[in-house]
Amino acid sequence: MKKYGSILLGSVLILVGIIFGLNALDITDINIFFDGWWTFFIIIPCLIGVFNDRDITGDIIGLGIGIVLFLACQGILSFEIIWKLMVPVILVLLGLVIIFKDALQGKTRKEMSKVEKKDVKTYSATFGSQRLNFDHEEFKGCELSAVFGEIICDLRESKISSDVVINVSCIFGGIDILLPKDMKVKVTSTPVFGGINNKYINSKKEKVKTIYINATCIFGGVDIK
């Protein structure tokens, strides 16, 4: 799908270049700076993200906001009504995404449900920070929650003898997950004005264990290293 995003971006640049060129030659007099032109700095990146990214929740919400703001600038919608309804609509969309994300994640989520354990420990950081170290311990999965806080989960020296699941909730916070070598990582996520940065390089060996990371990021970020 990435090629479609590149085609879209290229087409937009070509169109704008042609318009500038025709205006410079006095062939046309097209005003690019129409009412609401600035909303395209929201609409275009989000539209490209829909084609480029696997996790398109934030892009779809951003695209919707951009379109609504453009319509308001054009006088089709009222700014007063938009400001009143914007937060409730975002919260409703966010709730629906969280409720139905399991159905939307497909194959990876099904694999995860088979290995996920219910008796794992929960670690949280609220308006603070916490560093978790599992050196030489048998790791069977966990739940991490950072709300206006930070968590560093260090698994580099842990013992992982079976596939495990790490459920992550990151709201206005940050979580770093440091993984051991010779593993595979599969990620499912719900990013809303946030995201996951996966720098981990999966092992090319056969029959290695898989670490599943299921993350919800709301104005927050998760780094996997």
Per-10-residue mean pLDDT, the chain, length 225: 63 81 83 80 77 64 82 84 78 70 60 73 90 90 91 91 89 91 85 81 85 86 90
pLDDT of residue 58: 67
Total residue length of the chain: 225
93 and 168 fall within a common domain: no
Domain count, the chain: 2
Q: What is the pLDDT of residue 179?
A: 92
Determine the pLDDT at residue 44: 80
* Domain end call among 50, 74, 105: 105
94 and 133 share a domain? Answer: no
Residue-number span of the structural domain to which 160 is assigned: 112-224
Domain boundary among 105, 137, 170: 105
Single out the residue in 105, 134, 158 at which a domain terminates.
Answer: 105
**177 and 151 share a domain?**
yes
Write down the pLDDT at residue 151. 93
The whole-model pTM stands at 0.62
- Clarify whether residues 147 and 68 are in a common domain: no
Instruction: Please give the Cα distance from 23 to 17 (Å, whole number).
Output: 10
Report whether 200 contacts 176 (CB < 8 A): no
Q: In what order do the strands lie in the sheet with 121-126?
A: 121-126, 142-147, 164-171, 210-218, 184-192
Nearest to 147 by CA among 181, 180, 175: 175
Let me know whether 145 and 219 are in one domain.
Answer: yes
Shared domain check, 121 and 161: yes
The pLDDT value given to residue 154: 93
> Which neighbouring-strand residues pair with 154?
133, 178
